A = this chain, B = another copy of it.
Amino acid sequence: MRIEILCTGDEILTGKTINTNYSHIARRLVELGLDIHWGTIVGDDRASLSAAFAEAAKRADAVIVNGGLGPTVDDLSQEMAAEAAGVPLVLHEEWLARVEAFYARRGRVMPPNNRKQAMLPEGAEFIDNPIGTACGFAVTIGRARFFFTPGVPRELKRMLEEQLLPRLLALGGLPGVTRLKRFHTFGIGESRADQMLSDIPGLEDGPVKLGFQSHYPQLETKLAVRAADMATLEAALAPIEAEVRRRLGNFVLAEDDASLESVILGALQAGGGMLAVAEMFTSGAIASRLARSPLAEGLFASAVVAPTLERLCAAVGIPAPEAVTPEAAAIIARALRAGSGASHALAVLVAPDAGPDAREWGAVVCIGLATEGHVVTRRARLTNGRDWVRQGATEMGLDCLRRLLLGLPVDEPVDFEQRG
């Protein structure tokens, strides 16, 4: 089945808005084993929309149209869909009542131009939007089924999951049960992960598809599975999922919607702990990652951020050690823990190379972790320029903390560090 995505709107066409809706839709289709075949971007003008509908109607089996369902005069999707399908627009009474009720619940009267959002091509299939005033709909134009979706990202995402993907799977004659299992790791590059996992029995030519999405410093490993029913799906997925988990081992930071931050904060909470952080060079990124989580309340004591070892130690209230070493990180973590009253303290020190930013540019990262009566340290050299070192040091600091909290070794080498 050939699926196309047709994005409409001047904001997208002119690049004012980056087209994240396109990539979200495409990624979800691919994850379910559906074929995305073509993408088109046109503005809010009749001639372009008409031409784009006609061309997609010749090429595709299914077309997801995004945008143009709003209440203003430049939102043309319903009108152009009716024209392309050769039918008039008719009022969808039920949707009009829903939108009026939506406004009434907020103590407001529906503005008259919202009525336009309830005008659908005659005979169109209604597609629900439980969180907005733009309903979706489907019509057949030429050989293709066209699905119309709102441009607001959260409305689009919900409609895609609940309404469109099941319809597309059915249209493609594909079994209707799907799942996407995700593992988040730090320390394994995409090509090594591929080598580590691609020979898992049952993975090749089976119903479970392996994929990766690399967003340094993390790698996402995905298992997409589709089956006739849930029991078949689980029977196919379970042994492969377990084997992937086993092979990725201690490098798995989190699974599915969990994150490194949520795993750390969950472990801190389970142990009744509280964290203090001292960081250099990372621009406060460790504190920022943890503190902005809604789970952080009561678990995050405070952070000290400084550009040099001297200033960091001054802020912690101790004399500065000679140099950035694992021992210095241990001393700072211990002092920070004592001074802040936290149960756990993390110190991340960085000794950057001299010289300008470049691929070869690197830094030595020394991490110290203090808990009651116990200190562990980790040393690594990271390279590939300032931004990568900054991101790598942040992730490594957080990962060492996760490993400590979960009782795992903190010193397993990662692919991104320079050894020898």
Chain A interface residues (CB < 8 Å from chain B): 5, 7, 13-20, 22-30, 36-43, 48, 51-52, 55, 59, 213, 283-285, 287-288, 291-292, 296-297, 300-307, 311-312, 314-315, 317, 340-341, 390
Contacts and interface: CB of A to CB of B under 8 A. Distances in A.
B292 A390 contact: yes
18 contacts: A13-B37, A15-B28, A15-B30, A15-B36, A19-B23, A39-B39, A39-B41, A283-B288, A284-B288, A284-B303, A292-B390, A300-B307, A302-B305, A302-B307, A302-B314, A304-B305, A304-B315, A305-B305
Contact of A284 (B14, B15, B27, B287): B287
Given A305-B303, A311-B302, A14 B39 contact: no
A40 B37 contact: no
Contact of A301 (B23, B213, B311, B390): B311
Given A14-B30, A15-B36, A284-B291, 9 more contacts: A13-B37, A13-B38, A19-B22, A37-B48, A285-B288, A302-B304, A304-B305, A304-B315, A315-B340
Nearest to A279: B284
B297 A307 contact: yes
Contacts of A39: 7, 13, 39-42
A345 to B, nearest CB: 13
A294 to B, nearest CB: 8
A168 to B, nearest CB: 15
Q: How many copies of the shown chain assemble into the complex?
A: 2
Q: Give the residue among A13, A24, A41, A292 with the most B Cβ atoms within 10 A.
A: A41
Nearest to A297: B307
Contacts of A305: 284, 287-288, 291, 302-305
A307 B296 contact: yes
B16 A41 contact: no
B306 A303 contact: yes
Contact of A283 (B20, B55, B283, B291): B291
A341 B36 CA distance: 59
A16 B27 contact: yes
A311 B311 CA distance: 20
A301 B305 CA distance: 9
Q: Give the residue among A36, A38, A305 with the most B Cβ atoms within 10 A.
A: A305
Contacts of A55: 55
A283 B297 CA distance: 12
Nearest to A214: B16
